[in-house]
Amino acid sequence: MALPKVGSIGEYIRDQRQQAKISLRQLAEQAGVSNPYLSQIERGLRKPSAEILNQIAKGLRISSQALYVQAGLIEDREPPSDVISAIRADTHLTERQRQVLIDIYESFRKERPGDGQTSQNADPGPSADDEHPLPPELVAALEPYATSNGNGTANQETKEG
Amino acid sequence: MALPKVGSIGEYIRDQRQQAKISLRQLAEQAGVSNPYLSQIERGLRKPSAEILNQIAKGLRISSQALYVQAGLIEDREPPSDVISAIRADTHLTERQRQVLIDIYESFRKERPGDGQTSQNADPGPSADDEHPLPPELVAALEPYATSNGNGTANQETKEG
DNA sequence: TCACTCCGTTTGCAATTGCAAGCAGCGCCC
DNA sequence: GGGCGCTGCTTGCAATTGCAAACGGAGTGA
């Protein structure tokens, strides 16, 4: 298995949901599943069927395949090459958008040249990182979003050791 | 109502199995499922879960995705987002960086690049369109990048190459 | 004819999914 | 203080999955 094994599909779903800043019930509504069941799925108490998974993916507006890969239901046989190639190949983006994404990606890569494993517990105050190649406005706009969500349960860290 | 849809997946499996010239029991053995259940799946009497589907795909040595598409568990118009998969698979990024990149990418996708012009006016309309997962600050900061016309607050030179 | 093997199918049941209803906690308004 | 709406979680329960066992049919050999 590759590294993106986040342990559990539920964790991934919850993470995606919180990123979308929607409640559990909202996602359940959009996905067409019951809220208690979604709760159990997110906490790993239930193993949802592919149909439910597909509906959740639609509710989250994410790729069903990504969800299946996370759930271990699809062999990650399709090597996603690399991010830049994928961005370049995406016909839904404008050239300007591609360039922005690539710039941001490269700046991220420069921040941690050799880091390989998950280190999402980064310092909450990246004030020391004033060496970003990104324009200050963008960085300033990214910081409040990346540091803490002033909404709901701010504890999105993985609680399991 | 369940007859036509699941019938297709069962027919597909049976077709693939017969092309491989193996018996139902053999495939069941290779796939690790019981033969009666496989029989019912092939005749459309049961709707197999994704796990079973995945095992059958392995037993048939075919793509799991092909089977999922047949089962209607993956939208046929899925491929556009390989970028997210690539970002997810990039082990050099921190989790937080992945989230930011994906959010930006998704916000780009939602801007509908082919839809005339981007309505970047000061009318966010939070209640009307809450699909944006990005905070308004971030979207506002990205728009001078995304739009080719840097009119207005063009105080920052873009670093396009 | 009997015995054996393989084929796909049917039957009954344990385990699981997925849901409706209800519960406790929190914030807001009257 | 009470009420309303929202958050997520727990609890039974119907419906379904998926399997072990058993069934009828076809082919082969003694």
Asked if strand D comes closer than 7 Å to B34 Cβ, the answer is: yes
CB-closest option in B64, B81, B83 to A75: B64
Residue among B16, B108, B87, B54 at smallest CA distance from A53: B54
Q: Extract long-range pairs of B47-53: CB within 8 Å, 24+ residues apart.
A: B47/A51, B47/B2, B47/B6, B48/B9, B49/A49, B49/A50, B50/A49, B50/A50, B50/A53, B50/A68, B50/A71, B50/A73, B51/A47, B51/A73, B53/A50, B53/A73, B53/B9
- What per-residue confidence (pLDDT) applies to A149? 32
- What per-residue confidence (pLDDT) applies to A76? 56
A118 confidence band (pLDDT: 50, 70, 90): very low
- Give A101's contacts in chain B (Cβ within 8 Å): 83, 101, 104-105, 108
- What per-residue confidence (pLDDT) applies to B41? 95
Q: How far apart are CA B149 and CA B159, in angstroms?
A: 14
Chain A nearest C-alpha distance from B96 (Å): 6
Cα dist from B18 to A13, A113, B45, B46, B59, whole Å: 38, 51, 19, 20, 13
- What per-residue confidence (pLDDT) applies to A129? 34
CATH number of B2-70: 1.10.260.40
Tokens of B33: 């499922």
- What per-residue confidence (pLDDT) applies to A79? 47
Q: Give chain B's count of helices (H) and strands (E).
A: 8, 0
Tokens of B125: 């309309």
pLDDT of A35 higher than 90: yes
Protein residue with the closest CA to the C1' atom of nucleotide C21: A36
- Give A104's contacts in chain B (Cβ within 8 Å): 100-101, 104
Interchain proximity A101–B97, CB inside 8 Å: no
**Residue-by-residue DSSP string for B69-93:** HHTT-S-TT-TT-HHHHHHHH-TTS
pLDDT above 70 covers a percentage of chain A that reads 57
Chain B residues 52-91, Cβ below 7 A from strand D: 52
- What per-residue confidence (pLDDT) applies to B56? 93
A-to-B residue pairs, Cβ atoms closer than 8 angstroms: 189
Q: How far apart are CA B150 and CA B157, in angstroms?
A: 9
- What per-residue confidence (pLDDT) applies to A2? 32
The per-residue pLDDT for range A42-77, each reduced to its tens digit, is 999 998 888 899 899 999 888 787 788 877 777 655
Which residues lie closer than 8 Å to A98 by C-beta, 6 or more apart? A87, A88, A90
CA atoms within 13 A on the CB side of A37: 13
The per-residue pLDDT for range A68-116, each reduced to its tens digit, is 887 777 765 544 447 877 777 676 777 677 778 888 888 777 765 544 3
Quickly count: other Cβ atoms within 10 Å of residue B30's Cβ: 16
CA of B151 to C1' of D27 (A): 83
Interchain proximity A135–B156, CB inside 8 Å: yes
- What per-residue confidence (pLDDT) applies to B91? 64
Protein residue with the closest CA to the C1' atom of nucleotide C7: B23
User: pLDDT truncated to tens, each residue of chain B (161 aa)?
Assistant: 333 344 478 999 998 999 889 999 999 999 999 999 999 999 999 988 888 998 999 998 887 877 887 777 776 554 545 787 778 777 677 767 777 888 888 877 776 544 433 333 333 333 333 333 344 434 443 443 333 333 333 333 333 32
Query: Which among A13, A97, A99 is the top mutation candidate for probing chain B, defined by the most B β-carbons within 10 Å of its own β-carbon?
Result: A97
Interchain proximity B73–A64, CB inside 8 Å: yes
- What per-residue confidence (pLDDT) applies to B32? 95
A14 confidence band (pLDDT: 50, 70, 90): very high
Q: How far apart are CA A63 and CA A70, in angstroms?
A: 11
Quickly count: other Cβ atoms within 10 Å of residue B18's Cβ: 13
| Strand D: positions under 7 A of a protein C-beta atom | 6-12, 16-22
Which residues lie closer than 8 Å to A153 by C-beta, 6 or more apart? none
Q: How far apart are CA A117 and CA A119, in angstroms?
A: 6
Hey, where are the domains in chain B?
Answer: 2-70, 80-113+130-150
Specify whether domain A9-70 bears CATH 1.20.1050.40.
Answer: no
The per-residue pLDDT for range A127-158, each reduced to its tens digit, is 333 333 344 434 443 443 333 333 323 333 33
- What per-residue confidence (pLDDT) applies to A139? 47
